[in-house]
Structure 1
């Protein structure tokens, strides 16, 4: 894990982050956009991650946090080109989109979470950089991140591995 790479648009949001992580993975790639890679990752979320999300949703909804659904919940199904800034994409809202990077966000009264996928092509391969930044707004957000932070460091590499 490293800091948020300065070549990403997400870097602009990383000042004073309570939590930040960054993972890279080389994948086979034929010029796919960051959004296409993001959708590929979300649509191949490991079953155990969706089970953890279900448990998370049941527990935190009793405490006043919103029920997020699963990472691979996409209604309606769209192509990568169909998604626009402001669209809901699974559990996140898209706030930035270029061919090489997509940034998704989820905000509530406790946290502001941003997730970036940056794709750097190299011939028939690409280096995918998945980065996350979390800004905590209150003590409840800190408690939540105490439990979620360590799990997040397992989920992201496991999800990228499926690529």
Structure 2
């Protein structure tokens, strides 16, 4: 796999996020060559979110405006501004941008947003494939009710279109492998 190729794959079987799929209404995973294999999963997550393209924040703003009319939560922006807090200081239970940190090891970080309509979990998992360091970014969603199902019927297909584009732009961003 070349350094900028993004492939859609099954959730990595040795990841913690894979154990969250029973009963899930949506799950996907995108994998790419690790641009910084010596970084922890949290460092990689912070780099990816810190390089989120501005158009993603625009889409989030449109989403936030539209869903408040039907009672869904305003999430804020996806982009994480640079933080004075080092990656090693984050603890489970803390907020990291729009998500709460629910799982943290050297090779995987899982963040979550859970409300009355749905539970969204996002994982950054660092692993080896055929001896090459890789990163898998996975999303698992559990709908809690009809509004959650309706929301994911619209957002799910859009998510599958924009996440690979966003990740490719992140990998092409200047200093994407360094923070």
Shorter-chain TM-score above 0.5: yes
Q: Give the match for residue 11 of structure 2.
A: 4
* Residue in structure 2 matching 1:139, options 135, 146, 170: 146
Aligned residues: 161
State the secondary structure of the residue aligned to 1:29. Answer: coil
Unaligned runs of 5+ in 2: 1-7, 172-179
Q: CA deviation at 1:73?
A: 4.1
In the alignment, which residue of structure 1 is the partner of 2:5? Answer: none
1:103 equivalent to 2:100? Answer: no
1:29 aligns with 2:41: no
The CA deviation at 1:30 is 4.4
Task: Report which stretch shifted further, 105-114 or 149-158.
Answer: 149-158
Higher mean displacement: 153-162 or 127-136: 153-162
RMSD: 1.8
Match 1:44 to one of 51, 55, 59:
51
| 4+ aligned runs moved over 3 Å, structure 1 | 73-77
Would you say the 8 A contact 2:9–2:31 is kept in 1? no
Gap change, CA 1:84 and 1:149, over 3 Å in 2: same
Q: Find the aligned partners of 1:21 and 1:156 in 2 and give their Cα distance.
A: 10
Normalising to structure 2: TM-score of the pair? 0.84
